[in-house]
Structure 1
Amino acid sequence: MALWLIPSAPVPLPAALLSPEELIAADALAGRRADQYRFTRAWLRRCLSRHFDRDPGLIPVHAPPGQPATLDRGWGFVSISHSHDALALAWSVLPIGIDLERSDRSFHALTLARRFFCRRDLDGLNSMSSKACRSEVLRQWLAKEAAIKWQRGSLARDLSAWSWSGNAEVANHLDHGDRVRIRHYQFGDWQIAVACDVDQSGQDLQICLR
């Protein structure tokens, strides 16, 4: 398994890293969406090319706008997540999902939890301090969105069906019975959750600044 965290500040990578199809797709987008698409796909190709020691143009990645990125059969699995100021990438030989959020993201924790979380994961939130509640809800959100990406599911359909809380090792889908291991990482201002059944013990984030 490999993880990468790329702050959005680095000098943009050359457009030559993108495939012809990705260049066409980017040109069809507007403004910030186009810039974000070029940024994420170029870094995905660069990181994978270094991981596999292959030319970026030879990495068989397929990442149309608005769809999960995939690799050709036999190349493993990838997942992408981004905030307004960073990008997180993950690769594994088994299906994988990753989610990234800023630690200081502002939101109404209990309101969000009551709207989107399953009943069993709401237990204890009311008795927490506002700071502890916000931290727990953020960790739950990260874990569940990572699990949905691992599942190749839908945020609208599956968020309330995934159960994970506290420091549980496994998230459970209450409708389908799916189970996946969850790990959390923190670097600077960002928190990351990874859903994957590959052993992640001792796994470090690779921080790409250039």
Structure 2
Amino acid sequence: MITTQINNKSVLGLWLFLMPSKLFPITSEEKKWVKMLTPKRGLLYHFSRGCLRHAMSSMTGLGPLDIPLKAYPGKPPLLAEGWGHISMSHCSDALLIGWSSAKIGVDIERMDRKFQAHKLSKRFFTQNENYEIENLTPSKAQELVLKRWVVKEAAIKWQSGKIANNINQWIWQNKSSFAYHKKLGHKVKVYEQNHDRWIYAIALDGNSITRKPIICLN
């Protein structure tokens, strides 16, 4: 994990938490939110916000409950001004948290997730992206479509946008270091990696000078 001053654009923290796992402390306000959610959503909310506070505490030295965090259910978590930006993503058995001094988006999926690659690609991706998987074997098509999905979703989280309106607007060529938004002209730097049984992607400002990020396991 790379750490410097919070106001330096090279700051990046990246943490992976296994699910289920221990619950870390959350604030009294966050506990009230837990009680208002369904048991499943409440557990995920407590787990994710507690992990976020734990990670930020390890990074800054502040107590977990002293981290200036606004984390309403169903909305992206926000840090106080000057504290940088947070993005979170979870799949069935893991939670990924990214922190950066500049805008950031992260996404994670299991590599063995089952879906119909060609059907999903035709529904959400561009014609050129569909052409790219036409002659691939089923396993290679599945791999590329999943990779493209996590990259695009990370970019959408960086954008603070909605998947339905933006999934086919973000363009990413396989193995490229950048993704582009056709309509809005956004450009993000992309890191796409595998770790154990997961694939994950990170989207940062296009002019970011951050080196290839290293994931911290918890």
| TM tier relative to shorter chain | over 0.9
Task: Give matches, 1:12-161, under 5 Å.
Answer: 12-13=23-24, 17-161=25-169
The percentage of counterpart residues that share the same residue type is 33
Contact 2:191-2:212 at 8 Å conserved across structures: no
**Aligned twin of 2:22:** 11
Alignment partners' CA distance in 2, 1:111 and 1:199: 37
Per-residue CA distance 1:106-145 (angstroms, 9 max, x = gap): 0000100000012232222111111111000001000000
**Aligned twin of 2:3:** none
**Aligned twin of 1:203:** 213
Shift of 1:53: 1.0
Amino acid at match of 1:69: P
**Aligned twin of 1:191:** 199
* SS of residue matched to 2:133: coil
TM-score where L is the length of structure 1:
0.94
Per-residue CA distance 1:47-103 (angstroms, 9 max, x = gap): 001111111111111111110111111000000000111100000000000000001
Deviates more, 1:56-65 or 1:192-201: 192-201
Amino acid at match of 1:11: K
Gaps of 5+ in 2: 1-11
Alignment partners' CA distance in 2, 1:135 and 1:144: 14
TM-score where L is the length of structure 2:
0.91
Alignment CA distance shift 1:184-1:200 (3 Å): farther
**Aligned twin of 1:177:** 185
Shift of 1:200: 3.9
Alignment partners' CA distance in 2, 1:202 and 1:21: 36
Q: Output the aligned Cα RMSD.
A: 1.1
* SS of residue matched to 2:167: helix
Gaps of 5+ in 1: none
